Structure 1
Amino acid sequence: FVYKRQLADLRKVILPLMNMLNGLSNGRYSIFDEKCAIYARDSYDYAWRVHELIDTMRDLLTSALDMYLSVVSNRMNDVMKRLTIVTTIFMPMSFLTGLAGMNFSQLPFHSDVMFWATMALLVILPILMLIYFIRSKWL
């Protein structure tokens, strides 16, 4: 952003200079002779090249900034994908532990069989999800 601002400031300086040199080279001011007009034309050409160079540099800086923002966005998307996978793995486990931890006497979770079935689900479900994510090439 600093370089773009500096180029904009330089462009603000070069445009009035180009207008003045253009007026000198066209003979708009009668106090200068033909030799002065030739030098003014050369100086105008140099100023025009600098102006074009400023525009080129501004375009290059814009492209570089867009590329940097694209890389940052891709990194953030990768992090978000991994966080989503972790959340997807732990969400069913949280549901199962919350359901099994309820303190109601009518629920059938007070037996040893249901305890071990819940533990098996807590182990098997994340493993199956990891296998699915690996086969889908998300991990």
Structure 2
Amino acid sequence: MIAAVVYGPDGVTEYDDLATARDATGTTWVRVSDADPGELDTVAETFGIHSLVVEDVRNEVRAKTQPYDDYAFTLVKTVELARGDQSFEEEILAEAVGICVGEDWVVSLSVPPDDPVDRVWDAVRRGDSRILDRGPDFTAYRIVDMIVDEYFTVLDDLETDIEAIEEAVTESTDIGTLEDINALRRDLLAFRKVAWPCREAVGVLARGGPTQVRDETEKYYRDVYDHLVQVVDLTETYRDLTTGTRDIYLNTLSQSTNEVMKVLTVIATIFLPLTFVAGVYGMNFAGSPYNMPELTWRYGYPAALVAMGAIAGGMLVYFKRKEYL
């Protein structure tokens, strides 16, 4: 889709022809969404946008801000947490959005449809006075701000997942819990790879690097930059939490294994003397010069069983007092 509007204090006008929209009085916004390569090239040729800009959007390179002679190019990425059918079966999806800001025009380029740009576009078409009077650099700010707001939504969802995993770790040591922890760590790493470059890209705009960003708009970009600093800090905090949760899981698993081994060791220790007694009395010494008198004693068998039970009971009492059990 390619759409063009020209807006200003007097209102909003939609255009079908890009060249006419480019020369109209006011701020021109051309939105390119879900377009084929030929349409992207047409828009780039109309506004004098370098072919490398279109290539960066297509290839979804990392976020950046790059000034040109007649415009400033900023590439940021939208983020979505795509969930699967199973618990914690999710994936971070990132899509590139390129924004070119000229003296009286702004062009937004995105290969797939994008909700944050949709919301700003709808606000302009409704005639939102907070956007119409402030020029193309403010419109670009609104797009970037909407995209960054989505970052906090994703972080909230990831925080909920962390809390659920922390509860699961304290309840069981199922192997699936470790897989969920590792999946969450991968999501946080993927999210960090998006948020960190975006912070640097917005930082260039906040410092007034491109001449197309006016002084009165810089404070808005600084606000977005502060939000991105918070996003990056939260991401690092959540990664530390998942690392700690994984350590707790491994320690709990190790402790559980130690408890099982302790019980098995106690059982084996108890049966060791019983095995010795049974082995001795299991030998056939009848008729030997070294005949065991217990073999001909009518109470020999019950006495051996009682002795073995006494040995086992005594060892259990001993282990209990030593808190081995």
Q: Quickly name the TM-score band, shorter chain normalised.
A: 0.7 to 0.9
Distance 1:119 1:109 in 2: 16
Q: TM-score, normalised by structure 1?
A: 0.82
Q: How many residue pairs get matched?
A: 139
Instruction: Give the counterpart of 1:119 among 305, 320, 324.
Output: 305
Secondary structure of the 1:60 match is: helix
Distance 1:112 1:103 in 2: 12
- 1:79 alignment partner in structure 2: 260
Q: What are the residue-to-residue correspondences of 1:1-139 with 2, within 5 Å? A: 1-103=182-284, 106=288, 108-109=291-292, 111-113=295-297, 115-116=300-301, 118-139=304-325
Amino acid at match of 1:21: V
Task: State the percentage of identical aligned residues.
Answer: 34
Amino acid at match of 2:192: R
Contact 2:203 2:225 in 1 (8 A): yes
Farther off after superposition, 44-53 or 102-111: 102-111
Secondary structure of the 2:222 match is: helix
Give the helix-richer structure, 1 or 2: 1
Q: Structure 2 vs 1, CA of residues 82 and 73 (structure 1 numbering), >3 Å: closer, same or farther?
A: same
Distance 1:83 1:44 in 2: 58
Amino acid at match of 2:311: L
Distance 1:104 1:13 in 2: 82
Amino acid at match of 1:13: V
Distance 1:28 1:36 in 2: 12
Deviation at 1:115, TM superposition (A): 4.3
Unaligned runs of 5+ in 1: none
Give the strand-richer structure, 1 or 2: 2
Superposition RMSD on alpha carbons, in Å?
A: 2.4
Q: TM-score, normalised by structure 2?
A: 0.38
Q: Which has the higher contact order (CA 8 A, sep 6+)?
A: 1
Distance 1:108 1:132 in 2: 34
Distance 1:75 1:39 in 2: 53
Unaligned runs of 5+ in 2: 1-181
After superposition, the C-alpha distances for 1:37-82 in whole angstroms (9 at most, x for unaligned) are 3332221111101011111112222222222332332222222211
